[in-house]
Amino acid sequence: MTDPTSAFDALAGRIADIERRFAGLRDDLAELSGTAADESGLVSATVDATGALTGLTLAPAALRLGTEGVAELVLDAYRRAREVASGHVDEHTEGLDVALGAGLGDLFGTPGDFSALGRLEETVARLGRLDDRLPGAPA
């Protein structure tokens, strides 16, 4: 079994690394968007990183298709724009989910593995004993 204190130190280092990687990511994501046209090219939609519609362009010829036809074109363009934006988000966040989860199973176990609670309690108790031996407040 991994030493719980070492595992927590490793986790703290991993979290610090992830925080560095996330620095500025929120601003980058706020600027991301996706634009795409429907299959016919008559309607173009733009969405932000969350998939919210931020722009819509209709060619005059699209209006000849009636309300149902225009609705279908808008939905197609919107779906395609969301796929583009989602791809941009995936490119910017690639590997971040793996970096966070890597090795956590060693420390906390897998879902349903309640022995991890014992390791956590053991680590907290050890840290408490170490704290008791320190002469004054920990730095």
Q: Read off the pLDDT of residues 36-64 as tens digits, 9 standing for 90 and up.
A: 999 999 999 999 988 899 999 999 999 99
Architecture of domain 32-94: 2-Layer Sandwich (3.30)
Under DSSP, is residue 56 helix (H, G, I), strand (E, B) or coil? strand
Contact between 34 and 85 (Cβ < 8 Å): yes
* pLDDT 10s digits, 82-129: 999 988 888 877 766 554 455 555 555 555 555 555 666 666 666 666
- Domain map (residue ranges) of the chain: 1-23+105-131, 32-94
pLDDT at 139: 46
DSSP letter, residue 134: S
- Those residues whose C-beta lies under 8 Å from the C-beta of residue 37, and which sit 6 or more positions away, are 43, 44, 45, 77, 80
Q: What is the C-alpha separation between 77 and 70, in angstroms, rounded?
A: 11
Under DSSP, is residue 135 helix (H, G, I), strand (E, B) or coil? coil
Q: What is this structure's pTM?
A: 0.57
CA quadruple 108, 109, 113, 118: dihedral sign: negative
Between residues 130 and 12, the one the model is more confident about: 12
Q: What is the C-alpha separation between 111 and 45, in angstroms, rounded?
A: 41
- What pLDDT band is residue 10 in, cutting at 50, 70 and 90? confident
What is the rounded radius of gyration, in angstroms, for the C-alpha atoms of the chain? 25
pLDDT at 25: 72
